[in-house]
Structure 1
Amino acid sequence: MNHRSDCTRIVATVSLFLSAAVAGWGGGAGGAPAGGDAFRYEEDFEQIRAHYRVPDWFRDAKFGIFLHWGPYAVPAYSSEKYPKGIFDPKWQKGGMVPYTYHREHYGDPSVFGYKDFIPMFKAERFDAEAWVRLFKEAGARYVVPVAEHHDGFAMYNSHHTRWNVVNMGPKKDTMRMLADACRKAGLKFGVSSHYALNRIYYKRTDPAWDTNDPRYFDLYWKPVPEDSLPSQEFLDHWWDRTTDIIDQYEPDLIWFDFGFDKPGFEPLHLKTLAYYYNKGLEWGKEVVFQDKNMKYHRFPEDVIVLDIERGRMDQIYPYPWQTDTSVGRISWGYIENEQYKSADYLLDELIDIVSKNGCLLLNIGPKADGTIPAPAEAILREMGAWLKVNGEAIYGTRPWKIHGEGPTRVERGHHSEKRNAEAGPRDIRFTTRGDTLYAIALGWPEDGRFRIESLALGNPWEARPVGQVEYLGGRSTVRWRQADDGLHLAIDAGESGAAAYAFRIHFEPDNGDRTGDEGGATTEKRKGQSR
């Protein structure tokens, strides 16, 4: 990598980042508005921009758990959009066609519709505290369960629909149980809303299907053209359900899916944002509002946290942001034949995201009985083991002057992860805390020697010479040398096999006294070679 050739490309981003992301923008510290006790957020982006700041708890957390759980876990086939698929012969996921599968295993939707899975969704083995213990072991700092998905079933004690987890299925407030367990364990608790798409989610091709039965319109919604705008009735119902979630569970974070960005919801965008931020003031909480801006750009990205679905940024972003992705490549909800990613892959993704000023919200899909699938549990434990040792380079850090170096390029944007190659040992990512720089190599080099080109002598990022290098991941001492072609590092071969290799780097004042040797110019502190 030619780090000098990248200088021009990112100088504008670095400048903006330093002025906004590091120094903060607007308001007081940690999300507290500079307006006094009587302050209220107004339905005005400029007024919100002047006072709101993403709280430090979110910027420090880096890693959260997303939970897609609902009656769609009962068939455990294709994806969480199984409810949609049983009414649409053209819909498929991962080569799986719910329309055909449902008829073969359950019957025609005129006899057995999606609603009929709800009594089978019992969550009889659900243990909120056991879930939270696993999430803490994984290294997560916040948890975001789906409050209601496109299917219309409320995974909370809704006051506005009978189709909820207290009245039906598990017949217990699993949302409250999870919220209490998270807060007891010191984790931040959020919720997600996907309900905006419910009104056009289900097809009604056959008059005999239960999607056309008025008795079930409060689950499936009333028949409307797919290209229609939401009615005032639906907007009011959406508002009632959303504020019910906010008021009951006082979430530290609320996340909205792309349906909320669709045309027709404009009257609710600022209204919802101001309502939630003002609730945060009432609760004495520093809250986070997340939206995708996927197709329609509804929210300025300096007044919320932008969320990118199954994708990332390609460089440092000036404002805190988030990736949401899943442990599985096919589905968000539990399915029996999921294709799971490796913990190594997900850790590399986390490291890359953090180096660019982001956080990772990693989804798992629990089973209908309330247990976590064994492959997902194993992934979380493996990630947690790495973070337990190397978390110093992740939690509470901020981006450096550049996010990293290496040959593997990351494409920016929603649903870009399938086009991004896996990282390797030449891919280095940087984070920083105070005056300490962390360099994380995303693989083990074949010769066992790491080289960080961005820290070559005379590099444009740091004039001071390297004074000390330590390896976080084990007891191996680091043999290092700073030269014209980079910072050379070597650790014992026995350290190979980790997902990534994190180094703590300290700089010393540049006194200009440097010497050379047969390997090129080096810093004067040659003793670093034998450390």
Structure 2
Amino acid sequence: MNRRNFIRNGLYFGTGLALAARGTARRALASSETPRATNIYEGLSPAAARELEEKNLAATTAKVDSLIAHGPFQANWASLDTHHDPEWFRDAKFGIYTHWGPVTVGSSYSPGDAEWYGLQMYTPDHPAFKYHQQTFGDQHKVGFKDIIPRFTGERFDAEAWADSFVRAGAKFAGPVASHHDNFALWNSSLTRWNSVALGPHRDIVGELGRAYRQDGLRYVTTFHHGYAWRYYEPAFNYDAADPQYSDLYTEPHPPGAPPSRHFQDKWLAEVYEVLEEYRPDLIYFDFEFREVITPEYQQKLFATAYDWAALGRREIGVTQKDRGIHEHTGILDFERGREDRVTPYPWLDDTALGPWFYVASEPIKSTTYVIAILADIVAKNGCMMLDIAPMVDGTLPAKSVEVLLGIGAWLQSNGEAIYGTRPWSLYGEGPTKNVAGASFAEEKDKPFSAADVRFTTKGQTLYAILLGWPGKESLITSLPEGKPLWFGRIQQVQMLGVDQPLDWTQNHEGLRVELPQTPPGNHAYVLKIT
């Protein structure tokens, strides 16, 4: 079973590409090797670690309860409805995040769709099951817990990732802090299964937060560990049956059983720990609200995040995927999908350049396609968060870097039509329409054509983004003569990247613009109408 079917049913620049001079100079001032971090669980027996986990969980849960009791937001939808999402999110438009962790050890070369390796390796009819036995050992003895030490990230360089994402034009970035595998990529006091105690012995969330903020990016941390309760259910037939590992695999339970309060307390406490220690500007949640987490804890989560931000006089955005919850609060997110209309609210499309986790044999999207869907998203009042899948050693795949640099080059010339814009009354025109707003709608996308146009606005300017090169002229039928714009009559039409204004006429058919003989770049072309 793969991710999309389940939901429907129930840089490293070692590739010849130069690092940004800024990043190279900065790293030259640092030591050549990051000091090894330490964690409170190192050297403890499983029993001692579990005792410490429970002690720290009780203390953190008490802090969360006190925060909500004394904060301006209460754990009910009526109170949470008064929260305002941060304005910076509406302006940012484009962000990048990364799926990287122990799953990458298995997903990289396993046959089949192995992005859910921690579940699929325990599923006998999935190719990952036999692959795991042949590569690592029998699941009764060598389970997911035993591949975690192979996640070493020996070439991980947070500043190199930051350099590449800035050059790609991202305005916010961050890691998957904890995926369905329940492994924390930070220096946690709540779980011994973390990246400082095991694997790379690095505080991934902490290092990336410092690097991204140093380069001026807003910081996002994404959380998927609420689904661990379901993810590991097949593992209970194998090594997860041993209760000493229930702090990773969750306490053994029948398939489909509701989550325990203990599990949800720990889920919430880990989010709070990341808020307190790393101060993200945006936190993202996968589909666990729909599938696992109960309404009581959903509301506690939002209250925790909002009260934490209010106490520190910060802004916080929280994204999730349930339209019912969005009626009350938060930023609505679509996984590999987007709205089919202009919305009055900002929203998010989280999509991936290829597979979520690195899979060596899988193709990735082209620069042209990513730019086209970015324009489509922004025209409808959305933002894109693009996933990049690092390799197990911590480097970014060369082909992914090439696409990122292509996006960045386009945004360098055309970013004024993206960043800080607001939608027009029409999102666009042309023959290509995407499926009604839903997750995974991009799977049904048809290629955009030269007749497809997407609109954005800023101040007294209307931007028309041509998603292909029309040839000698472009006819924009949404702008016929006599149709006034909010800034009055059209006075001038320019193309970003072209020095001189363009000749144009307007009649009942629309705005007809004579285009340059040579396209100014690649991928998409922006008319600036004033």
State if a TM-score over 0.5 links the two structures: yes
Secondary structure, aligned partner of 1:370: coil
The equivalent residue for 1:30 is none
**How far apart, in 1, do the equivalents of 2:314 and 2:382 lie?**
21
Per residue, is there more helix in 1 or in 2?
A: 2
Q: Tell me if 1:130 matches 2:130.
A: no
Counterpart pick for 1:338 among 357, 362, 365: 362
Instruction: Please state how far the C-alpha of 1:407 moved relative to its aligned partner.
Output: 0.6
**How far apart, in 2, do the equivalents of 1:347 and 1:236 lie?**
40
**How far apart, in 2, do the equivalents of 1:154 and 1:222 lie?**
17
Letter in 2 for 1:66: Y
Counterpart pick for 2:506 among 479, 482, 489: 482
Check the 8 A contact 1:476/1:495 in 2, yes or no. no
The equivalent residue for 2:215 is 185
**How far apart, in 1, do the equivalents of 2:487 and 2:199 lie?**
63
Counterpart pick for 1:143 among 173, 177, 195: 173
The equivalent residue for 2:314 is 285
Counterpart pick for 1:99 among 129, 142, 148: 129
The equivalent residue for 2:77 is 45
Q: Tell me if 1:89 matches 2:124.
A: yes
The equivalent residue for 2:422 is 398
Instruction: Please state how far the C-alpha of 1:90 moved relative to its aligned partner.
Output: 3.7
Counterpart pick for 2:466 among 410, 419, 441: 441
Secondary structure, aligned partner of 2:526: strand
Give the structure-1-normalised TM-score: 0.82
Letter in 1 for 2:400: A
User: Measured at CA, do residues 156 and 388 of structure 1 come closer, stay the same or move farther in structure 2, by a change above 3 Å?
Assistant: same
Letter in 2 for 1:326: A
**How far apart, in 2, do the equivalents of 1:205 and 1:199 lie?**
11
Instruction: Please state how far the C-alpha of 1:332 moved relative to its aligned partner.
Output: 0.3
The equivalent residue for 1:33 is none
Q: Tell me if 1:246 matches 2:270.
A: no
5 Å-filtered alignment, 1:131-530, equals: 131-204=161-234, 207=237, 209-262=238-291, 265-293=294-322, 297-301=323-327, 303-328=329-354, 331-411=355-435, 412-445=437-470, 447-459=471-483, 464-475=488-499, 477-495=501-519, 498-506=522-530
Instruction: Please state how far the C-alpha of 1:69 moved relative to its aligned partner.
Output: 0.7
Counterpart pick for 1:72 among 103, 117, 127: 103
The equivalent residue for 1:13 is none
**How far apart, in 1, do the equivalents of 2:185 and 2:289 lie?**
19
Instruction: Please state how far the C-alpha of 1:56 moved relative to its aligned partner.
Output: 1.5
**How far apart, in 1, do the equivalents of 2:484 and 2:139 lie?**
65
**How far apart, in 1, do the equivalents of 2:266 and 2:368 lie?**
43
Instruction: Please state how far the C-alpha of 1:409 moved relative to its aligned partner.
Output: 0.8
Check the 8 A contact 1:401/1:461 in 2, yes or no. no
Check the 8 A contact 1:431/1:438 in 2, yes or no. yes
Counterpart pick for 2:142 among 80, 102, 112: 112
Secondary structure, aligned partner of 2:465: strand
Check the 8 A contact 2:492/2:501 in 1, yes or no. no
User: Measured at CA, do residues 135 and 401 of structure 1 come closer, stay the same or move farther in structure 2, by a change above 3 Å?
Assistant: same
**How far apart, in 1, do the equivalents of 2:236 and 2:457 lie?**
59
Instruction: Please state how far the C-alpha of 1:496 moved relative to its aligned partner.
Output: 6.4
**How far apart, in 1, do the equivalents of 2:249 and 2:235 lie?**
14
**How far apart, in 2, do the equivalents of 1:263 and 1:205 lie?**
18
Instruction: Please state how far the C-alpha of 1:269 moved relative to its aligned partner.
Output: 1.3
In structure 1, the gaps of 5 or more residues are 1-37, 92-96, 507-531
Letter in 2 for 1:257: D
Secondary structure, aligned partner of 1:151: coil
Check the 8 A contact 1:477/1:491 in 2, yes or no. no
Letter in 1 for 2:88: W
Letter in 1 for 2:291: K
Instruction: Please state how far the C-alpha of 1:254 moved relative to its aligned partner.
Output: 0.6
**How far apart, in 2, do the equivalents of 1:204 and 1:359 lie?**
36
User: Measured at CA, do residues 89 and 473 of structure 1 come closer, stay the same or move farther in structure 2, by a change above 3 Å?
Assistant: farther
Secondary structure, aligned partner of 2:478: helix
Instruction: Please state how far the C-alpha of 1:477 moved relative to its aligned partner.
Output: 4.4
Secondary structure, aligned partner of 1:80: coil
**How far apart, in 2, do the equivalents of 1:342 and 1:482 lie?**
35
User: Measured at CA, do residues 311 and 49 of structure 1 come closer, stay the same or move farther in structure 2, by a change above 3 Å?
Assistant: same
Check the 8 A contact 1:312/1:353 in 2, yes or no. yes
RMSD of aligned residue pairs (Cα, Å): 1.9
**How far apart, in 1, do the equivalents of 2:507 and 2:201 lie?**
65
Judge which range, 75-84 or 133-142, deviates more.
Answer: 75-84
Check the 8 A contact 2:236/2:252 in 1, yes or no. no
User: Measured at CA, do residues 356 and 442 of structure 1 come closer, stay the same or move farther in structure 2, by a change above 3 Å?
Assistant: same
Q: Percent identical across equivalent pairs?
A: 41
**What's the CA shift string for 1:261-308, capped at 9, x where partnerless?**
335521111111111111112222211011111xxx451346211000
**How far apart, in 2, do the equivalents of 1:418 and 1:271 lie?**
34
**What's the CA shift string for 1:453-486, capped at 9, x where partnerless?**
0011134766943210011033464222112111
**How far apart, in 1, do the equivalents of 2:486 and 2:261 lie?**
57
Check the 8 A contact 1:148/1:194 in 2, yes or no. yes
- Number of aligned positions between the proteins: 456
The equivalent residue for 2:46 is none
Instruction: Please state how far the C-alpha of 1:55 moved relative to its aligned partner.
Output: 1.6
Letter in 2 for 1:436: T
**How far apart, in 2, do the equivalents of 1:311 and 1:481 lie?**
37
Check the 8 A contact 1:476/1:491 in 2, yes or no. no
Instruction: Please state how far the C-alpha of 1:44 moved relative to its aligned partner.
Output: 3.2
Instruction: Please state how far the C-alpha of 1:49 moved relative to its aligned partner.
Output: 2.7
Letter in 1 for 2:367: A
**How far apart, in 1, do the equivalents of 2:268 and 2:487 lie?**
54
Check the 8 A contact 1:155/1:174 in 2, yes or no. yes
